[in-house]
C-alpha cells in the first residue's frame, strides 16, 4: 500500500507541472519520491501484478518528465512529420505554426503515424492529421501495438474510421503491457464469437491484470 501511495505522489506531482511558481518545488518533490522508491522497492511485498503496474506507471512518469511541454513546441520529429503533411494545404509559415500547436497534444508519435496511415485514405490531409492527433494523447503512450491489434480485428466488421475510433477507446483504457494478455485470450474467444464480441470479452478479461 505504501508503495502504491508513493506512485500516486509522483503522478500527482507530474500533473502539476503547468504551475510555473511551483516548478522547482515539484522537481524537488519528484526527486525525493524517486529516492524513496529506489530505497523501498527491494523491500516491497507487492504482488507481481502490482509491480507490473508500478513499472508501467514509472515508465509513463519518466516519459512525462522528458517531454517538452508548455513552451509552444512539440518534439522535433512530431513537428516535422505534421509539417510535411500540412504544407500540402497551407503556406510554410502557417504549417509550422499549426504543427507546433498540434504537437503539444501528441504523446506518442508512433500512434500518430499509425492513425494517420489509416485516416489519410478516407479524409483530406488536414482532417486526417487533426483526427490522428486526437488519438495520440497521453492515454496512448507506448500502445501502438495494442492499438494495431484491436483495430485490425474491429476492421473485420466496421469501417476504417469506426474501427479506429473503437480501437482507440478500448486501447486507452488498458496498459501497454496488456498486449500479451490480448494475444493470449483473444483466440480463445474468437472461436465462438464475432471479432467485436471476442475483443469485448478479451478486454474484460485483461482490464484488471
Last residue in a domain, options 137, 162, 185: 137
In a domain, residue 71? The reply is no
pTM (2 decimals)?
A: 0.68
- Residue-wise pLDDT tens digits, 117-148: 999 999 999 999 999 999 999 999 999 999 99
Last residue in a domain, options 66, 87, 117: 66
In a domain, residue 21? The reply is yes
* Residue 21 DSSP code: G
Distance CA 7, CA 18 (A): 19
Co-location of 149 and 198 in the same domain: yes
Co-location of 119 and 149 in the same domain: no
Q: Cα torsion at 75, 131, 182, 204 (round to 10°)?
A: 120
* Count of domains observed in the chain: 3
- Tell me if 116 sits within 8 A of 136, measured CB to CB: no
- Residue-wise pLDDT tens digits, 38-82: 777 788 888 887 887 777 777 777 666 665 543 333 478 999 999
Amino acid at each position: 500500500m505504501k508503495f502504491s501511495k508513493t506512485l500516486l505522489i509522483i503522478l500527482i506531482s507530474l500533473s502539476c507541472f503547468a504551475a510555473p511558481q511551483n516548478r522547482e518545488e515539484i522537481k524537488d518533490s519528484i526527486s525525493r519520491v524517486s529516492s524513496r522508491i529506489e530505497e523501498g522497492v527491494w523491500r516491497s511485498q507487492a504482488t507481481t501484478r502490482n509491480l507490473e503496474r508500478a513499472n508501467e506507471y514509472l515508465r509513463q512518469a519518466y516519459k512525462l518528465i522528458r517531454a517538452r511541454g508548455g513552451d509552444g513546441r512539440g518534439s522535433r520529429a512530431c513537428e516535422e512529420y505534421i509539417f510535411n503533411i500540412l504544407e500540402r494545404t497551407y503556406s510554410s509559415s502557417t504549417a509550422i505554426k499549426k504543427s507546433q500547436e498540434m504537437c503539444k497534444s501528441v504523446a506518442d508519435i508512433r500512434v500518430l503515424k499509425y492513425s494517420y496511415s489509416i485516416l489519410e485514405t478516407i479524409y483530406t490531409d488536414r482532417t486526417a492529421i487533426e483526427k490522428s492527433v486526437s488519438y495520440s494523447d497521453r492515454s496512448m503512450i507506448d500502445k501502438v501495438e495494442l492499438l494495431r491489434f484491436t483495430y485490425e480485428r474491429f476492421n473485420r466488421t466496421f469501417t476504417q474510421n469506426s474501427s479506429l475510433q473503437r480501437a482507440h477507446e478500448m486501447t486507452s483504457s488498458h496498459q501497454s503491457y496488456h498486449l500479451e494478455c490480448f494475444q493470449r485470450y483473444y483466440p480463445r474467444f474468437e472461436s465462438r464469437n464475432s471479432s467485436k464480441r471476442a475483443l469485448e470479452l478479451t478486454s474484460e478479461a485483461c482490464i484488471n491484470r
